[in-house]
């Protein structure tokens, strides 16, 4: 087996090749994310304000890091951005679509086609192979099955995991599992990658490799929003915002 | 912090395609459900066991009751389904009635469908004892009280009698009122008589009768086994018999209903209502009754087993939902709608029910074949039973999985994701 560093370098070269293809497919648009006075309140007696009047725009192909202490509303905001949760107030537009006006099923469709998620704990299905985990992302798009395996292998190739396509996730290291999770998140034609503490379970070496991979995906036009406590990850982003008590403040990159 | 941007729109032209109604491919749905089941093979196997038992019991019950019903009917046909007895009704004087004619046997034998017929009567010997004349064992016999019967010659064939020695009396004996008799096996044993080749004779009171035959067995009118049977003509002359007591008929298979209707008319044309007919019930009705009785019992047991199986599937599916909340959250994050989640769990529970139904139907059929082979019966099973049983299992799984599936679909993706994998 090749050394990890060599694999990463090889993977990086492949990402560059894939980046060009993705770049050609995506026409440039100004804002992928537009939040206007978005708030999220839980409960009523008394109400807990998790997100309070957040305004935010994110350009296509750029990366945004959201930092802040625990309980400051970072993950809640990420859930809203990922159409997993609805804002209690304000407006959220994803690629020009007013998400608040969509039905539950329409938001699920939007997630299937436009949004990829990367979680701290990878969230891979342990009893399915790596390739099946990646293909799972396309099962809910309603598109033809033809070419699905090819696209999954292409996504795995982008993250340097094509040789592990038939392995089971529990047999892989943490870094490898996170790469598979990223492959699952980018397979198809997603425009937004949302990461919740993506390096939380990785060592420094794997963290650096992951950040390099994110850079390559950014070059391909993929917009990335990352919630993190890791200063290294935050510093790597194009922009950095801080959440404190549900309110957002911009920080210097 | 927010640069100037265009006003929000509900949809942009090129993204409408993202939000159209998506239908998950059936193969994807089945593959996901199958993978979900295969991930927990031991638990699924135990869950399926309940349905296996339920469906197996139902199939075996239906098959065995059908097989047993057929078997009962077969035996019933062989002996009882050809047995018709005509006797005076209450209006005709009951047991002591004098409605039956002396030529009843001849009248009955003219009916199409009658194989054999004869008349039989109890003879009042006014307390006379029967005693043998000892030949082989002088010390064995003495005077005994024996029931005396009078029969027409055709009766012996109608009751399927077998001789162990000698012969039956005939029409000549009856018309001449000969003092001849045939002894039932029990009566002969009581009198110590086991052969008739030395002109054996017995006394009935003070009258000497020649024993011309010994019965080995009878299949109808079992009272003949212990009786001394004399010709009707003899009974009329010697003991004042007024009329035959009953007419015994053996019919062809399937002719019982016909003879049941025709015999009273043949024997009492002026008023058939003076006679009553005892005939076996229609075999088809008997078969249905037997099947119905067996079915009612065993279907109840099978139904209970199936209910337990259904509860097992519902329980395990619900536990599976609770255990897989994180997976549900992941699938929702990947774009699964509520209906996709609901459909997956329904397919899983339906798959468990279907598997249980298939295995149960197979085992139930094997039980039927095995039981039939042991008893040398012909296994009988309606074709729809082994075909419909798996579908019933699937239906049980579908119904059992409905609540857990709805519960899985109702999970909010954020809450499900928070639960973790």
Q: Does A222 reside within a domain?
A: yes
Q: Which of B138, B405, B110 is nearest to B249 (CA)?
A: B110
Per-residue confidence (pLDDT) for residue B142, from 0 to 100: 65
Per-residue confidence (pLDDT) for residue A51, from 0 to 100: 93
Residue span of the structural domain in which B207 resides:
100-267
Residues of B in contact with A30 (CB under 8 A): 5-6
- Asked if residue B387 and residue B350 are part of one domain, the reply reads yes
Q: Is B341 exposed, middle or buried (CB count within 10 Å of its CB: 0-12, 13-18, 19+)?
A: buried
| Nearest-CA distance B331 → chain A (Å) | 8
Taking CA atoms, what residue in B is nearest to A124?
A: B421
A109 contacts B11? CB cut-off 8 A: no
- The pLDDT tens digits of the residues spanning B57-111 come to 888 888 887 887 777 666 555 556 788 999 998 777 777 777 899 999 999 999 9
Token representation of residue A6 = 């060599």
Token representation of residue B235 = 């009974």
- The pLDDT tens digits of the residues spanning B377-419 come to 888 888 888 889 999 999 988 998 999 999 999 998 888 888 7
How much of chain B exceeds pLDDT 90, in percent? 37
Per-residue confidence (pLDDT) for residue B12, from 0 to 100: 40
Percent helix, strand, coil in chain A (nearest 5)? 40, 25, 35
B181, B233 contact by CB (below 8 A): no
Per-residue confidence (pLDDT) for residue A142, from 0 to 100: 78
Per-residue confidence (pLDDT) for residue B285, from 0 to 100: 64
A222, A22 contact by CB (below 8 A): yes
Q: Does A194 reside within a domain?
A: yes
Q: Is the pLDDT of residue B134 over 60?
A: no
| Nearest-CA distance A12 → chain B (Å) | 25
Q: Who contacts A20 (Cβ-Cβ below 8 Å, separation ≥6)?
A: A220
- The pLDDT tens digits of the residues spanning B346-373 come to 999 999 999 999 999 999 999 999 988 8
Find the CB nearest A121 among B3, B412, B421.
Answer: B421
The phi, psi pair for A17, rounded to 5°, reads -65, -40
- Asked if residue B308 and residue B393 are part of one domain, the reply reads yes
Find the CB nearest A97 among B10, B39, B326.
Answer: B10
Per-residue confidence (pLDDT) for residue B420, from 0 to 100: 66
B5 contacts A31? CB cut-off 8 A: yes
Relative to beta strand B207-217, strand A239-244 is unpaired
Distance CA B421, CA B419 (A): 7
Contacts 24+ apart (CB under 8 A), B168-172: B168/B212, B168/B213, B169/B212, B169/B213, B169/B230, B169/B231
Q: Does B408 reside within a domain?
A: yes
| Nearest-CA distance A186 → chain B (Å) | 11
Per-residue confidence (pLDDT) for residue B378, from 0 to 100: 84
- Confidence band for B295, pLDDT divided at 50, 70 and 90: low
Residue span of the structural domain in which A148 resides:
4-28+61-85+113-251
Taking CA atoms, what residue in A is nearest to B37?
A: A127
Q: Does B336 reside within a domain?
A: yes
A250 contacts B10? CB cut-off 8 A: no
Q: Does B272 reside within a domain?
A: no
- The pLDDT tens digits of the residues spanning B41-62 come to 888 888 888 888 888 888 888 8
Residues of B in contact with A33 (CB under 8 A): none
A102, A152 contact by CB (below 8 A): no
Q: What is the CATH number of the domain that holds A66?
A: 3.40.50.300
* Angle (CA) B246 B249 B250, round 5°: 155
Q: Is the pLDDT of residue B140 over 80?
A: no
Say which residue, A162 or B74, is predicted with more confidence. A162
Q: Does B3 reside within a domain?
A: no
- The pLDDT tens digits of the residues spanning B209-218 come to 999 999 998 9
Q: Does A96 reside within a domain?
A: no
B414 contacts A36? CB cut-off 8 A: no
Distance CA A210, CA A118 (A): 11
Residues of A in contact with B11 (CB under 8 A): 96-98
Distance CA B282, CA B106 (A): 26
* Segment B110-134 mean pLDDT: 86
Find the CB nearest B5 among A30, A105, A137.
Answer: A30
Per-residue confidence (pLDDT) for residue B194, from 0 to 100: 85
- Asked if residue B208 and residue B104 are part of one domain, the reply reads yes
Q: Does A46 reside within a domain?
A: no
B339 contacts A142? CB cut-off 8 A: no
- Asked if residue B147 and residue B195 are part of one domain, the reply reads yes
Q: Does A203 reside within a domain?
A: yes
Distance CA A135, CA A128 (A): 10
- Asked if residue B107 and residue B44 are part of one domain, the reply reads no
- Asked if residue B305 and residue B195 are part of one domain, the reply reads no
Token representation of residue B109 = 């034998």
B417 contacts A97? CB cut-off 8 A: no
- Asked if residue B206 and residue B153 are part of one domain, the reply reads yes
Q: Does B7 reside within a domain?
A: no
Conformation bin of residue A56: beta by default, left when phi > 0, alpha when psi is -120 to 50? beta
Q: Does A132 reside within a domain?
A: yes
Q: Is the pLDDT of residue A82 over 90?
A: yes
- Asked if residue B200 and residue B148 are part of one domain, the reply reads yes
Q: Does B158 reside within a domain?
A: yes
Total domains in chain B come to: 2
Query: What separation in angstroms does the CA of A238 have from each of A190, A193, A218, B357?
Result: 19, 14, 10, 59
Residues of B in contact with A101 (CB under 8 A): 10
Q: Does A39 reside within a domain?
A: no
* Angle (CA) A220 A91 B413, round 5°: 70
- Asked if residue B351 and residue B257 are part of one domain, the reply reads no
Taking CA atoms, what residue in B is nearest to A148?
A: B28
Per-residue confidence (pLDDT) for residue B136, from 0 to 100: 52
Q: Is the pLDDT of residue B329 over 70?
A: yes
- Confidence band for A115, pLDDT divided at 50, 70 and 90: very high
Question: Of the residues B267, B293, B308, which one is the last residue of a structural domain?
Answer: B267
Total domains in chain A come to: 1
* pTM above threshold 0.90: no
Q: Does A143 reside within a domain?
A: yes
- Asked if residue B336 and residue B242 are part of one domain, the reply reads no
Q: Does B223 reside within a domain?
A: yes
Q: Does B16 reside within a domain?
A: no
Best of B4, B23, B334 to substitute, by most chain A Cβ atoms within 10 angstroms, is B334
* Segment A33-51 mean pLDDT: 90
Q: Is the pLDDT of residue A58 over 90?
A: yes
- The pLDDT tens digits of the residues spanning B253-280 come to 778 888 989 999 999 998 898 899 887 6
């Amino acid at each position: 087996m090749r050394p990890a560093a060599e694999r990463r370098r090889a993977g990086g070269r492949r990402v560059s090749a894939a980046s060009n293809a993705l770049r050609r497919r995506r026409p440039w648009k100004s804002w992928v994310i537009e939040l206007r006075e978005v708030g999220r309140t839980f409960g009523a007696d008394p109400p807990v304000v998790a997100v309070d009047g957040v305004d935010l725009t994110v350009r296509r192909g750029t990366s945004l890091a959201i930092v802040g202490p625990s309980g400051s509303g970072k993950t809640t905001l990420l859930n809203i951005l990922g159409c997993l949760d609805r804002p209690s107030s304000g407006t959220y537009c994803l690629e020009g679509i007013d998400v608040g006006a969509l039905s539950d099923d329409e938001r699920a469709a939007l997630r299937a086609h436009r949004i990829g998620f990367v979680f701290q704990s990878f969230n891979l299905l342990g009893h399915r192979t790596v390739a099946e985990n990646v293909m799972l992302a396309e099962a809910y798009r309603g598109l033809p099955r033809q070419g699905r395996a090819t696209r999954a292998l292409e996504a795995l190739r982008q993250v340097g995991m094509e040789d592990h396509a038939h392995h089971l996730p529990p047999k892989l290291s943490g870094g490898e599992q996170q790469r598979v999770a990223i492959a699952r998140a980018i397979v198809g034609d997603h425009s937004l990658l949302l990461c919740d503490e993506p390096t939380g379970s990785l060592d420094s070496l794997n963290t650096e490799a992951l950040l390099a991979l994110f850079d390559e995906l950014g070059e391909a036009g993929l917009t990335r929003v990352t919630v993190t406590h890791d200063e290294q990850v935050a510093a790597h982003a194009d922009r950095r915002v801080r959440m404190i008590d549900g309110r957002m403040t911009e920080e210097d990159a | 912090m927010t640069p100037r941007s265009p006003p929000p729109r509900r949809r942009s032209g090129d993204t409408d395609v993202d939000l159209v109604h998506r239908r998950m491919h059936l193969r994807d749905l089945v593959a996901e459900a199958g993978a979900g089941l295969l991930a927990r093979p031991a638990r699924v196997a135990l869950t399926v066991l309940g349905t296996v038992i339920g469906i197996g019991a139902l199939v075996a019950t239906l098959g065995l009751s059908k097989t047993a019903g057929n078997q009962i009917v077969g035996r019933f046909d062989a002996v009882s389904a050809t047995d018709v007895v005509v006797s005076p009704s209450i209006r005709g004087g009951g047991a002591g009635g004098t409605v039956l004619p002396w030529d009843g046997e001849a009248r009955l034998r003219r009916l199409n469908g009658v194989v054999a017929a004869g008349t039989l009567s109890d003879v009042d010997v006014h307390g006379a004892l029967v005693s043998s004349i000892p030949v082989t064992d002088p010390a064995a016999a003495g005077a005994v009280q024996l029931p005396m019967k009078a029969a027409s010659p055709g009766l012996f064939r109608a009751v399927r009698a077998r001789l162990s020695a000698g012969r039956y009396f005939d029409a000549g004996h009856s018309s001449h009122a000969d003092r001849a008799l045939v002894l039932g096996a029990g009566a002969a044993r009581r009198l110590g008589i086991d052969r008739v080749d030395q002109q054996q004779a017995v006394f009935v009171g003070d009258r000497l009768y020649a024993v011309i035959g010994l019965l080995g067995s009878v299949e109808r009118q079992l009272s003949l086994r212990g009786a001394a049977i004399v010709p009707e003509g003899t009974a009329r002359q010697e003991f004042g018999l007024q009329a035959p007591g009953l007419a015994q008929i053996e019919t062809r298979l399937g002719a019982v209903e016909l003879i049941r209707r025709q015999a009273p008319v043949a024997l009492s044309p002026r008023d058939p209502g003076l006679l009553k007919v005892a005939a076996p019930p229609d075999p088809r009705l008997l078969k249905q009754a037997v099947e119905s009785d067996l079915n009612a019992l065993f279907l109840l047991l099978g139904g209970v087993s199936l209910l337990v199986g259904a509860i097992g599937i519902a329980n395990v599916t619900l536990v599976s939902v609770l255990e897989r909340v994180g997976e549900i959250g992941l699938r929702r994050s990947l774009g699964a709608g509520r209906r996709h989640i609901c459909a997956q769990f329904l397919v899983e529970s339906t798959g468990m029910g279907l598997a249980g139904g298939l295995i149960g139907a197979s085992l139930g059929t094997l039980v039927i074949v095995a039981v039939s082979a042991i008893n040398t019966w012909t296994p009988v099973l309606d074709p729809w039973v082994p075909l419909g049983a798996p579908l019933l299992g699937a239906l049980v799984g579908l119904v059992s999985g409905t609540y857990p599936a709805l519960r899985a679909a109702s999970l909010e993706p954020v809450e499900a994701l928070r639960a973790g994998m």
